[in-house]
Amino acid sequence: MLVRQIHPGLSCPKLLFTLFSSTLIFLGASNALPGTEYDYGAHPKFVCTPIPADADPMNANGHHGPKEAKTTILHLRESLVRQKETILDQRETIRELTANQSHHPYSESGHHSQGHHNKHGAEMASSPEQMGRMLQALKERLENLQQSRNTSSSYSNSLKDLLQRKIHALEQQMNLHSNILLTRILFPKGSRKKPKSPDAFQIGFPMRTNYMYGRIKRTLLHEIFALTLCLWLKGGAGPGLGTPFSYSVPGQANELVLIEWGNNPMELLVNDKAVTLPLSLSDGKWHHLCVSWSTRDGLWEAYQDGVKRGSGENLSAWHPIKPGGVFILGQEQDTLGGRFDATQAFVGEISDLQLWSHMLTSHEIYNLATCGSHMTGDIIAWTESAVELHGGVTKYPFDPCH
């Protein structure tokens, strides 16, 4: 008989003797203590199983011998070590993903995160090569995880989902990085143009005459107390540009005039009072020109290609621009709408002339000159239907911003 329980080191006779002796001692002690009952369920039960006399006790009931048990223990220990290594590697992967995600300038949603800068003040953004290597490493780890059989099913699926989400987020970041880089290559700073206008055209004055001119088909309906005149202009050959723009009213032929006559610099006339404009337009190239004026203190400003070149005061202060006049392009008027002088005629090309009844800001003028935006004048808007051409003035499709 073999007794199997907590005392595997004792033989059956010794164990029976020990049990018998302990029982006698316990019963004696129990009788000495009144009111004490023995709890049979509190002690272990011993089961004796018969085995052949020549059999190995370690192999009883299918148990392996010491050598097989040691091999099993070593195998289990090796599996446990491999599983621990896998978990540690997966934890390291999660830690790297979390660190890379927090340092990258774009989150999973594609929005820019703030406050991540290195010691030089530059953003901690990975290069496309670094992101590519990171993405490849994540994919390899995901493939290894899918092939691994040492990880529990629930833990493996959870980690697979995490890796797939991080890979998807990194791919989105790479696509966004590529799109930004492509945009910067195709549209460098300062080269973005305004949408092409359906009324993009130019008019040309090939020679000085007293019969070539353009007439704006509208007039002022009431007095104005400020203005901004902007246009694209390209001067022709010869001394002075002439008169690209003039406005006359009954009783005052030079109510509003822009003129460069002979070797004199360009001037702005308001109510026949003139100021010299510090502009340089005689290089035969296209330039954006703006002049603004206010009746209050006679304040004036002049801009070339979006940059303020001059300003001043006391130009016909407190004089309103009168209504009911005639707008002429290319000629200076000596009478209302006529009596042109060929020596003051404009030679060159004009495009996108706009007139407002207020002073534009420096920022608005800069955006117009750099094609960052396009604004339409509330007094004169540059459309083909608004301009009437006479004497052989040419007209061609043209947009200075394209």
Order of all β-strands in the sheet with 252-260: 273-276, 267-270, 252-260, 242-249, 326-329, 213-216, 387-390
> Is residue 34 situated within a structural domain?
yes
CATH value at residue 277: 2.60.120.200
**pLDDT recorded at residue 9:** 47
**pLDDT recorded at residue 72:** 77
Helix, strand, or coil (residue 365): helix
In this structure, what are the phi and psi dihedrals at residue 82, rounded to the nearest 5 degrees? -65, -40
- Note whether 143 and 156 are within 8 A (CB): no
**Residue 197: partners with Cβ closer than 8 Å, 6 or more residues away:** 352, 374, 399
- 261-288: pLDDT as tens digits: 888 899 999 999 999 999 989 888 999 9
**pLDDT recorded at residue 263:** 84
DSSP conformational letter for 379: S
Q: State whether 176 and 219 are in the same domain.
A: no
- Note whether 4 and 47 are within 8 A (CB): yes
Please report, as a single letter, which amino acid is at residue 209. Answer: T
User: Measuring CA to CA, which residue among 183, 144, 176, 179 is closest to residue 160?
Assistant: 144
Number of domains the chain contains: 3
DSSP code per residue over 8-47? TTS-HHHHHHHHHHHHHHHHHHHHHSTT----GGGS---E
Quote the CA–CA distance of 161 and 288 in Å, as a whole number. Answer: 58
**pLDDT recorded at residue 402:** 76
Q: State whether 162 and 23 are in the same domain.
A: no
In this structure, what are the phi and psi dihedrals at residue 384, rounded to the nearest 5 degrees? -65, -35
Task: Kindly report whether the global pTM for this prediction surpasses the value 0.85.
Answer: no
> Is residue 165 situated within a structural domain?
yes
> Is residue 192 situated within a structural domain?
no
User: Measuring CA to CA, which residue among 361, 323, 108, 367 is closest to residue 222?
Assistant: 323
Q: State whether 275 and 369 are in the same domain.
A: yes
- Tokens 């002088």 belong to 341
> Is residue 48 situated within a structural domain?
yes
| Beta carbons within 10 angstroms of residue 322's beta carbon | 19
Residue ranges for the chain with pLDDT beneath 50: 1-17, 19-42, 58, 60-63, 104-125, 190-195
- Note whether 221 and 274 are within 8 A (CB): no
DSSP code per residue over 274-326? EEE------SSS-EEEEEEEETGGGEEEEEETTEEEEEES-SSTTPPBPSS-E
Q: State whether 371 and 328 are in the same domain.
A: yes
**pLDDT recorded at residue 49:** 56
Quote the CA–CA distance of 356 and 209 in Å, as a whole number. Answer: 29
Q: State whether 294 and 367 are in the same domain.
A: yes
The CA radius of gyration of the chain, in Å to the nearest whole number, is 48
- 332-370: pLDDT as tens digits: 999 999 999 999 999 999 999 999 999 999 999 999 999
Q: State whether 365 and 283 are in the same domain.
A: yes
Between helices 66-103 and 128-147, what is the axis angle to 10°? 150
Name the token pair of 261. Answer: 């006559």
Quote the CA–CA distance of 48 and 45 in Å, as a whole number. Answer: 10
Q: State whether 74 and 38 are in the same domain.
A: no
Q: State whether 274 and 380 are in the same domain.
A: yes
> Is residue 195 situated within a structural domain?
no
- Note whether 202 and 398 are within 8 A (CB): yes
> Is residue 193 situated within a structural domain?
no
Quote the CA–CA distance of 208 and 118 in Å, as a whole number. Answer: 64
**pLDDT recorded at residue 20:** 45
DSSP code per residue over 142-182? HHHHHH--SS-HHHHHHHHHHHHHHHHHHHHHHHHHHHHHH
Domain that residue 382 falls in: 201-397
Name the token pair of 272. Answer: 């026949």
User: Measuring CA to CA, which residue among 363, 361, 364, 329 is closest to residue 347?
Assistant: 329
Q: State whether 275 and 167 are in the same domain.
A: no
Quote the CA–CA distance of 159 and 155 in Å, as a whole number. Answer: 6
**pLDDT recorded at residue 35:** 44
Q: State whether 56 and 80 are in the same domain.
A: no
Burial class (CB within 10 angstroms; exposed 0-12, middle 13-18, buried 19+) of 372: middle
Q: State whether 181 and 270 are in the same domain.
A: no
Q: State whether 366 and 233 are in the same domain.
A: yes
190 Rama sector, left if φ>0, alpha if ψ -120 to 50, beta otherwise: left
> Is residue 181 situated within a structural domain?
yes
